[in-house]
Amino acid sequence: MTDYRTLFDLQGRRALLLGAGGIGGEAGRALAAHGAEVVCADRDTATAEATAAAITAAGGLASALALDVTDPDDLEGRLDEVGDVDVAVLTAAMNVRKRLLDYSPDEFDRVVALNLRGSFNVLRGVGRRMIARGAGSIIAFSSIRARTVEPGQGVYAATKAGLESLVRTAAVEFGDAGVRVNAIAPGVVETPLTAQIKADPEWYRAYATKGALGRWSQPSELAGAVVYLASDASSFVTGSTLSVDGGWTAVDGRFTPPA
């Protein structure tokens, strides 16, 4: 019989964070709290070290690693260094908020290089190793922008839609080996990346009231979804995108008509 008390137990598992700041940092702390050893990887060494230190200070097991997902050779070498991982969480992403006609080719290339090609590199590198072991869970962060677009978000949205397609494909191709691949799509989250919006009270309120819950989320509110997809609680979940958006994609428009 299934022992439901242990569904979320991650004791003895190793998790690799690819993007250790913000949402990634909260995910790492949550995974460690459920027993996982966490390898905190980030292009910025200080970010990786800070998250690893926070996990260790809370009694968890963690290490830090400098890693660039846009560089396939660096990624492959670092994955060899890390060794076996049971869970990989990819949060690394960027955005250049501009309308399409204002976008430069260089800006387009930079956003696509990290958000889409970086994701491709991770799925290949981590997926190949998990397939060889016959088990694993890959969790990639998408966005509500994969489905709902606004002016200035076109290229970012395109990369997230592409990421979700890669996730579904990887789930199908890796499934026979026992490897699960899923995505999480957050709504509006209070992070340094959204400081520009928070600085504009009207813009900030418009985003808050768009969702069913009428507020922004905190990075910690994404962590439960990560633990779920990393654990045995989601053992039959693959190829899915889990929306954690406060009902953003459930609401039609920003006007509440009279009943």
Residue 46 contacts by C-beta under 8 Å, 6 or more apart in sequence? none
Name the amino acid, one letter, at 157.
A
User: Are 138 and 93 in contact, with CB atoms under 8 Å apart?
Assistant: no
Residue 188 contacts by C-beta under 8 Å, 6 or more apart in sequence? 194, 197, 207, 208, 210, 211, 216, 217, 245, 246, 248
- Which two structure tokens, joined as six digits, stand for 218? 């905190």
Find, among 45, 26, 150, the residue nearest to 89 by Cα: 26
Other beta carbons within 10 angstroms of residue 229's beta carbon come to: 23
Catalytic one of 156, 204, 207, 228? 156
156 is catalytic: yes
Distance separating alpha carbons of residues 145 and 79, to the nearest angstrom: 30
Residue 163 Cα distances to 4, 53, 184, angstroms: 32, 30, 11
Residue 183 dihedral angles phi and psi, to the nearest 5°: -125, 155
Name the E strands within 44-131: 61-66, 87-90
Residue 201 dihedral angles phi and psi, to the nearest 5°: -55, -40
Catalytic residues: 156
